[in-house]
Amino acid sequence: MTTFGSTIAERSPGLVDVTVQKWALPAIFCGLLIFATVISPSFLSVSNFQNVMTQAAPLMIVVIGQTFVILVRGLDLSVASLMATVAVIATAFNTQDNTMIPVIFISAILLCTIVGFINGWLVTKRNVSPFLATLAMMIVLQGLRFYYTQGAPAGVLPEGFRHLGTGKYLGIPANIIACILLFVFLTFVLEKTVFGRKIFIVGGNPTSADLVGINSHNVTITCYIICSIMAGIAGLLLVGFVGTVDNFVGRGYELDSIVAAVIGGVALSGGKGKLLGAILGALILVVLFNIVIIVGLPVQAQLVIKGVIIIGAAAFFARKTRG
Amino acid sequence: MIELNNITKTFPGVKSLDAVTFEAKAGEIHALLGENGAGKSTLIKTIAGAYIPEEGEIIFDGTTRNWESPKQAKDAGIHVIYQELMLFPELSVADNIFIGKEPRTRFGQIDYKQMHMQAREILDRLGHVLAPSETVKNLTVADQQMVEIAKALVGDTKLLVLDEPTAITSGREAAVLFERVNNLKEQGVCIIYISHRLEEIFEIADRVTVLKDGQYVGTKNITDIDKDRLVGMMVGRELSDIYPTKSKRADDVPVLTAHDLSLTPRVKSVSFELFPGEIVGLAGMVGSGRSEVAHALFGSMKRDAGSVTVNGAPYNTPTPKKSIELGIGFLTEDRKEQGLLPLLDAAANITAPGLGEISTNAIISRDKEFVIAENEIQRFAIAIPGPRSDVWNLSGGNQQKILFARWARVCHRVLILDEPTRGVDVGAKVEIYKMIRRLAGEGIAILVISSELQEVVGLSSRVLVMREGVMTGELSGQDVNEKAIMRLATLQDAA
- pLDDT mean over B287-310: 91
Concatenating the DSSP letter of every residue in B260-296 gives: EEEETTTEEEEEEEE-TT-EEEEE--TTSSHHHHHHH
Contact B153, B160 (CB under 8 A): no
Q: What share of chain A is helix, strand, coil (3-state, %, to 5)?
A: 75, 0, 25
- Residue A245 φ then ψ, to 5°: -110, 145
Q: How far is B344 from chain A (nearest CA, A)?
A: 8
Q: How far is A70 from chain B (nearest CA, A)?
A: 15
Report d(CA A264, CA B328) in Å as an integer: 40
Q: Which residue has the higher pLDDT, A314 or B285?
A: B285
Report d(CA A78, CA A203) in Å as an integer: 20
pLDDT at A2: 34
pLDDT at B292: 93
pLDDT band at B104 (very low <50, low <70, confident <90, very high): confident
- pLDDT mean over B29-40: 82
Report d(CA B414, CA B330) in Å as an integer: 9
pLDDT at A278: 93
The answer to whether residue A150 neighbours chain B at the CB level (below 8 Å) is no
pLDDT at A251: 81
Paired sense of beta strands B470-476 and B414-418, if any? unpaired
Cβ–Cβ pairs < 8 A, chains A and B: 117
Q: A58 pairs with which residues across the strands?
A: none
Residue B494 has pLDDT above 70, yes or no: no
The answer to whether residue A21 neighbours chain B at the CB level (below 8 Å) is no
Closest CA to A53 of A61, A187, A273, A80: A61
pLDDT band at B440 (very low <50, low <70, confident <90, very high): very high
Determine, for residues A1 and B40 on separate chains, whether the beta-carbon distance falls below 8 Å: yes
Report d(CA A308, CA A313) in Å as an integer: 9
Closest partner CB to A10 (pick from B322, B323, B393): B393
Residue B493 has pLDDT above 50, yes or no: no
Concatenating the DSSP letter of every residue in A58-125 gives: HHHHHHHHHHHHHHTT---TTHHHHHHHHHHHHHHT----GGGHHHHHHHHHHHHHHHHHHHHHHHHT
pLDDT tens digits along B305-326: 899 999 999 999 999 999 999 9
Closest partner CB to A271 (pick from B11, B343, B356): B343
The answer to whether residue A207 neighbours chain B at the CB level (below 8 Å) is yes
Contact B115, B70 (CB under 8 A): no
Q: How far is B131 from chain A (nearest CA, A)?
A: 35
State the best of A188, A211, A222 to mutate against chain B, taking most chain B CBs within 10 Å.
A211
pLDDT band at B265 (very low <50, low <70, confident <90, very high): confident
Q: How far is B41 from chain A (nearest CA, A)?
A: 6
Determine, for residues B390 and A7 on separate chains, whether the beta-carbon distance falls below 8 Å: no
Paired sense of beta strands B207-212 and B29-33, if any? parallel
Closest partner CB to B300 (pick from A204, A211, A271): A211
Q: Classify A270 as helix, strand or coil.
A: coil
Helices A46-71 and A253-263: crossing angle, nearest 10°?
A: 90
Report d(CA B153, CA A22) in Å as an integer: 57
Chain A residue whose CA is closest to B452: A1
Report d(CA A187, CA A277) in Å as an integer: 11
Contact A273, A258 (CB under 8 A): no
Q: Where are the domains of chain A?
A: 48-250
Task: Please list every residue in chain B whose beta carbon sits closer than 8 Å to the beta carbon of residue A193.
Answer: 359, 362-364
Determine, for residues B396 and A195 on separate chains, whether the beta-carbon distance falls below 8 Å: no
- Return the DSSP state at A12: P
Helices A275-295 and A253-263: crossing angle, nearest 10°?
A: 110
pLDDT at B280: 96
Closest CA to B93 of B141, B151, B35, B38: B151
Task: Please list every residue in chain B whose beta carbon sits closer than 8 Å to the beta carbon of residue A2.
Answer: 41
Chain A residue whose CA is closest to B354: A212
Q: How far is B186 from chain A (nearest CA, A)?
A: 31
Report d(CA B20, CA B7) in Å as an integer: 5
Determine, for residues A4 and B397 on separate chains, whether the beta-carbon distance falls below 8 Å: no
Q: How far is B127 from chain A (nearest CA, A)?
A: 33
Range from B46-50, B264-268, B375-379, B444-448 that averages highest in pLDDT: B444-448
Burial B352-390 (b: 16+ CB within 10 A, else e): bbbbeebbeeeebeeeebbebbeebbeebebebeebebb
| Stretch (H or E) spanning B211 | strand B207-212
Contact A210, A277 (CB under 8 A): no
Closest partner CB to A211 (pick from B13, B36, B320): B320
Burial A187-212 (b: 16+ CB within 10 A, else e): bebbebbbbbbbbbbbbbbbebbbbb
**What distance lies between CA B53 and its chain's CA centroid?**
23
Determine, for residues A3 and B343 on separate chains, whether the beta-carbon distance falls below 8 Å: no
Concatenating the DSSP letter of every residue in A150-188 gives: TT-------HHHHHHHH-EETTEEHHHHHHHHHHHHHHH
Report d(CA B158, CA B181) in Å as an integer: 13
Residue B407 has pLDDT above 60, yes or no: yes
Q: How far is B156 from chain A (nearest CA, A)?
A: 29
The amino acid occupying position A293 is I
pLDDT at A217: 96
Determine, for residues B348 and A200 on separate chains, whether the beta-carbon distance falls below 8 Å: yes
Closest CA to B284 of B40, B455, B478, B490: B490
Report d(CA A283, CA A183) in Å as an integer: 14
- Return the DSSP state at B345: B
Q: What share of chain B is helix, strand, coil (3-state, %, to 5)?
A: 40, 25, 35
Task: Please list every residue in chain B whose beta carbon sits closer than 8 Å to the beta carbon of residue A210.
Answer: 300, 320
State in Å, rounded, how far the first CA of chain A is from the last one: 29
- Residue A242 φ then ψ, to 5°: -75, -35
The answer to whether residue A200 neighbours chain B at the CB level (below 8 Å) is yes
Domains present along chain B, CATH in parentheses: 2-235 (3.40.50.300), 256-494 (3.40.50.300)
Q: B33 pairs with which residues across the strands?
A: B210
pLDDT along chain A (323 residues), means of 10: 32 51 80 83 78 87 97 96 92 81 92 97 95 96 89 78 80 88 96 96 94 95 98 91 78 89 89 93 87 80 80 70 43
Q: How far is B355 from chain A (nearest CA, A)?
A: 7
| Stretch (H or E) spanning B207 | strand B207-212
Contact A140, A122 (CB under 8 A): no
Neighbours of A16 (CB within 10 A): 8
Q: Which residue has the higher pLDDT, B152 or B239?
A: B152
**CA angle at residue A279 from A276 to A280, to 5 degrees?**
85
DSSP E strand boundaries for B61-158: 63-64, 78-81
**Longest distance between any two alpha carbons in chain A, whole Å:** 75
Q: B470 pairs with which residues across the strands?
A: B467
pLDDT tens digits along B373-394: 999 999 888 888 889 888 887 7
| Stretch (H or E) spanning B447 | strand B445-449
Determine, for residues A211 and B362 on separate chains, whether the beta-carbon distance falls below 8 Å: no
Q: Is the peptide bond before B265 cis (omega within 30 degrees of 0)?
A: yes
State the best of B43, B322, B355, B368 to mutate against chain A, taking most chain A CBs within 10 Å.
B355
Report d(CA B334, CA A208) in Å as an integer: 10
**What distance lies between CA B432 and its chain's CA centroid?**
20
